[in-house]
Structure 1
Amino acid sequence: MLKYEIFINPKWLRKLNKDIWEDELVPAELRIGENRYAVKISYRGNVIRDKKKKSYRIVFDKPSIVDGAHEIILNAEYIDVTMSRNKLSFDLFDRIGVIAPHSKHVLLYINGYSKGIYLEIESFDQYLLEKRNLPDGPIIYATNNRANFSLLTKKKELKTRLSQGYTLKYGNSEDLAELEKFIAMINTLSNEDFENEIPKVLDVDQYLKWVAGVVCTQNYDGFIHNYALYKNGKTQLYEISPWDHDGTWGRNIRGRLMEYDYVPFTGYNTLTARLLHLTPFKRKYKDILSKILENDFNSKVQEPIIHDLFETLKPYMSIDPYITSNPDALEQEKEVIFDFIRKRNAYIKEELTTFIS
């Protein structure tokens, strides 16, 4: 496991800690092996910021690009005793053909003090597109639960603007205006017009693969939050990618157990509901989801992946000052995940038998 060492002047560290909700970046140095990089750093996240083990946003300064990335995320994974649910989710999405951030575990030290095991996650930005040889295009983050593709908020209040819940990561104001047109279209077209027009602005197959991934991992927040929209510059179609998938694989974002059938196999949000109301899209979804259950999301495929990942973490757990779990606890949680996979797979298969009448 790679060792990341961050050195930060105490005055800048005090500035970070003065207001943990401040997003302003401060200067630091990052050392990875023999390499040294001038970087800027801030805390990140919502639930995690007031925890003892915090997550960080790292932006490369000199040089500005390292291994094809301008910025990375170091996620504490503090509430997840396995420190792995995000990675397992991203890897599943990648496997089924959905653009997802790549990730790896690292050991983090700040000013010589161990901060434990962290998950390094790619930033979903224009540099990721370039690194993967994807066409340039705007990227918009769904940053709160108003990003539900609806005219209404979660509380059934009329939105003051249709781009509520979204933050522009890469692009310009015109891209947000185009997003508002897309959301208006989703909510106002007749069923016949929607069926004809939606494939002209949305990569439907790719979107349904994403729905299937969220459904399999059972990310309760994933349909209205924690995703990125990317408008492919070549096809001019919207594509969608996952973000923050720690409340998954049988646990919610607080780490509590969730019943295997808590999230419906059809998911939820306005766009998904409209697609799955129409028979041609229902057939596509059933075919996509059935193949994923058969080839990707099942015990035979996932258990060896999870076992190997957990084995790589075990030797380093004792040096993480913030976690109370140990290798035995990791083994117990592995069985929780295995049980979830078996039950979730069987539940979805059963639901699909009566999906299309």
Structure 2
Amino acid sequence: MKRLPYPRVMIGLIILFFLLLGIQALLKAPESGATSTERAETTNEVATLDSTFKEDKRVYDKHDGNKLEHVYVTIFDQRTVPENDLTLYDLNESYKQYSNLESGPKLYVHFETGDAKGPDGIQLFDEQEVNATIQLRGRSSRLEPQKSYKIRLQDNAGLWYGQSVLNLNKHADDRTRVRNRLAFAYYEQLDDISSLRTNFVQLHVRDMTNPDKADTFEDYGLYTHVEQLNEEALAARGLNPDGHLYKAENFEFFRYPDKLLPSDDPNYDKKAFESVLKINGSDNHDELLTMLDDLNDLSKPFDQVFDKYFDEDNYLTWLGTNILFGNYDTMSTNYYLYSPLNSEKWYFMPWDFDKALGRDTERTDAMPSWQQGIQRYWGTLLHRRYLKDPENVKSLQAKVTELQEVINPTRTKQLIDGFYPVVSPLVTSEPDLRFLKIEASSYEANYRRLEDITAKYATDFERSLENPMPIFLQYSRDGKQDVFRWDASYDLQNEELTYHFELSTSPDFTTLLKEQANLTTFSYSMPALAPGRYYWRVTVKDESGNTQIPFDYYRDNDRKLYWGVQQIVIPGEAS
């Protein structure tokens, strides 16, 4: 039987069909020489960075933070620099006028380095040129008799160890004078987080605005320089210097819609913005505001929001180290948030530890119990949402245990043994001795308390997990009723909580007007109070008997603090 020829024709047609498909695909495919942007547009993909925080630790390889650096500053008078129309004394007193020292006055100076014998090179004072400015720095330290300074180097001064800004901190409240150096020495050894190059500096000042001091350099004693976190510092660490960088001033991760606005908004006020977050990077705030919108939208699953915007290893390392350092000044301030370009992630970067590592044990006033562990972060939205998940608390505990392999008494002793020969002779001699807040004979004993301090905070942290969380108090008058309201507390062990309400005419509650124990609601109402001053508080208690006080506090005219207490003033009727 003769076979028909059409199967051979069909096969040929099929082959021709697939050949045409291949040619069409080649025509649509980007050329091998196409740019990455063109390829991304073709595939509708957007390039993003690796979400892991990676600091290039080689920046610390040649950094010797145990070496005493000598800095010499000549402050010109108005005859040499007309712009210097105030004296160094006036500059030091300017804190009374400028609470924001960044906007305060500055003096033009000549900056140079040297050794204990004097500046480098031959000094021809009449021929020295302006190469830097000096101004006050520090929020709380501005009230100290010994001031802290910021020196900004001009282009003709070059760079000081690759830096154009010197932050010279006196740290008068730090009896050891090494807390910042110790903290940043530890961060140099840790993954998932950054450090800052920190140096001990002896400052020498020739003050030509004072005729009595115009011819010699005066010893200003020991300072700690902490590297300025800016574009230079980011680039030195292999991080994108053009990203978003904010310093927390009073920031609890709320939206702050009246202050945090896009820079192109007609109502944008940079000063108001920087009362919450100081801008150190890009002026485009859209990515920050998007993150805050999502974080404050409680309808969105927190885990998804957190994973999108934060790196858990970086976050837990920041939180864990501040717990081990006992850094009670990090609830809403004293850290940086950084987000590189082409990334949605936000990373925590540390800053300022003069109120850490035992500073609380030196205070004359007692610290509230919620400062001793996890509770101090409960007033911040991000931390509160993260720590409400028991699994996240376990992750934090695991991170603290992991960090203790590096941060421990043995290693602390090794580090502070290296600092001691540098700082001790300066702290216990003029001019620092004149303002030392302890007897010089007890300096070493105070210094050695640093050795075991991180172990103490690790114990405090574990103990704090048993306590309920702090709350905020709120008073209002509703018609003829006074209404006292408070937040619902939270217990990590999920125990039942009760609230103990107290009202008094004295902040120490020696006289009680009203008291109600074992409340399970979050308010207490009573007939309107007569005009006068009153004080109230609410104590939270769990089933195991662990208690907690509110975040609120009252400070009397003698500046005595009453933690967990709120004052209310009922005005009298106008005559």
Mapped to 2, the partners of 1:314 and 1:110 lie a distance apart of 21
Question: Out of 194, 201, 207, which is 1:99 matched to?
Answer: 194
Question: Out of 68, 73, 91, which is 2:162 matched to?
Answer: 68
Shift of the 318–334 alpha-carbon distance from structure 1 to 2, 3 Å rule, reads closer
Alpha-carbon distance, 1:338 to partner: 3.2
Asked if residue 127 in structure 1 is aligned to residue 232 in structure 2, the reply is: yes
Mapped to 2, the partners of 1:42 and 1:351 lie a distance apart of 41
Question: Match for 2:289: what amino acid?
Answer: E
Shift of the 258–32 alpha-carbon distance from structure 1 to 2, 3 Å rule, reads farther
| Alignment partner, residue 296 of structure 2 | 187
Indicate if the aligned counterparts of 2:311 and 2:345 stay in contact, CA closer than 8 A.
yes
| Alignment partner, residue 142 of structure 1 | 248
Mapped to 1, the partners of 2:451 and 2:93 lie a distance apart of 42
Question: Out of 406, 416, 422, which is 1:312 matched to?
Answer: 422
Q: Percent identity?
A: 21
Alpha-carbon distance, 1:232 to partner: 2.3
Asked if residue 51 in structure 1 is aligned to residue 144 in structure 2, the reply is: yes
Mapped to 1, the partners of 2:457 and 2:316 lie a distance apart of 18
Alpha-carbon distance, 1:259 to partner: 6.6
Deviating more after overlay: 117-126 vs 253-262: 253-262
Secondary structure of the structure 1 residue equivalent to 2:239: coil
Alpha-carbon distance, 1:108 to partner: 0.5
Shift of the 292–351 alpha-carbon distance from structure 1 to 2, 3 Å rule, reads farther
Shift of the 258–329 alpha-carbon distance from structure 1 to 2, 3 Å rule, reads farther
RMSD (Å) for aligned C-alpha atoms: 2.9
| Alignment partner, residue 373 of structure 2 | 264
Question: Match for 1:7: what amino acid?
Answer: T
Shift of the 263–318 alpha-carbon distance from structure 1 to 2, 3 Å rule, reads closer
Indicate if the aligned counterparts of 2:375 and 2:464 stay in contact, CA closer than 8 A.
no
Structure 2 unaligned residues grouped into runs of 5+: 1-67, 79-83, 115-119, 122-127, 207-216, 261-272, 468-491, 495-575
Question: Out of 73, 77, 83, which is 1:6 matched to?
Answer: 73
Shift of the 24–204 alpha-carbon distance from structure 1 to 2, 3 Å rule, reads farther
Mapped to 2, the partners of 1:253 and 1:244 lie a distance apart of 18
Task: Map 1:1-357 to 2 at 5 A.
Answer: 1-11=68-78, 12=84, 14=87, 16-17=91-92, 19-20=94-95, 21=98, 22=101, 23-33=104-114, 34=120, 38-61=131-154, 62-63=156-157, 65-97=159-191, 98-111=193-206, 112-136=217-241, 137-143=243-249, 145=250, 147-151=251-255, 160-162=258-260, 163=273, 164-172=275-283, 174-175=284-285, 177-190=286-299, 192=301, 194-233=302-341, 235-252=343-360, 255-256=363-364, 262-265=371-374, 267-268=376-377, 269-293=380-404, 295-323=405-433, 324=436, 328-349=441-462
Alpha-carbon distance, 1:103 to partner: 0.5
Alpha-carbon distance, 1:210 to partner: 0.4
TM-score between the two structures when normalised by the length of structure 2:
0.55
Mapped to 1, the partners of 2:171 and 2:386 lie a distance apart of 34
Larger gyration radius, structure 1 or structure 2 = 2
| Alignment partner, residue 43 of structure 2 | none
Alpha-carbon distance, 1:100 to partner: 2.5
Deviating more after overlay: 31-40 vs 74-83: 31-40
Secondary structure of the structure 2 residue equivalent to 1:52: coil
Mapped to 2, the partners of 1:218 and 1:207 lie a distance apart of 17
Mapped to 2, the partners of 1:19 and 1:188 lie a distance apart of 43
Indicate if the aligned counterparts of 2:73 and 2:112 stay in contact, CA closer than 8 A.
yes
Indicate if the aligned counterparts of 2:326 and 2:357 stay in contact, CA closer than 8 A.
yes
Deviations 1:116-159 (A, max 9, x none): 0000110001100111121231211112x3x111247xxxxxx6
Structure 1 unaligned residues grouped into runs of 5+: 153-158
Indicate if the aligned counterparts of 1:102 and 1:121 stay in contact, CA closer than 8 A.
yes
Alpha-carbon distance, 1:83 to partner: 0.8
Higher helix fraction (1 or 2): 1
Deviations 1:224-245 (A, max 9, x none): 1111111123544111112221
Mapped to 1, the partners of 2:363 and 2:232 lie a distance apart of 32
Secondary structure of the structure 1 residue equivalent to 2:372: coil
Question: Match for 1:29: what amino acid?
Answer: H
Mapped to 2, the partners of 1:254 and 1:231 lie a distance apart of 36
Indicate if the aligned counterparts of 1:139 and 1:171 stay in contact, CA closer than 8 A.
yes
Alpha-carbon distance, 1:314 to partner: 1.7
Question: Match for 1:123: what amino acid?
Answer: Q
Shift of the 300–17 alpha-carbon distance from structure 1 to 2, 3 Å rule, reads closer
Mapped to 2, the partners of 1:253 and 1:18 lie a distance apart of 30
Indicate if the aligned counterparts of 1:231 and 1:237 stay in contact, CA closer than 8 A.
yes
Deviations 1:267-318 (A, max 9, x none): 402111111223553343232111012x123212212212321232123334
Alpha-carbon distance, 1:257 to partner: 7.7
Alpha-carbon distance, 1:251 to partner: 1.4
How many residues were matched structurally?
345
Mapped to 1, the partners of 2:169 and 2:349 lie a distance apart of 18
Question: Match for 1:317: what amino acid?
Answer: V
Mapped to 2, the partners of 1:121 and 1:234 lie a distance apart of 29
Alpha-carbon distance, 1:219 to partner: 1.5
Indicate if the aligned counterparts of 2:70 and 2:202 stay in contact, CA closer than 8 A.
yes
Question: Match for 1:183: what amino acid?
Answer: L
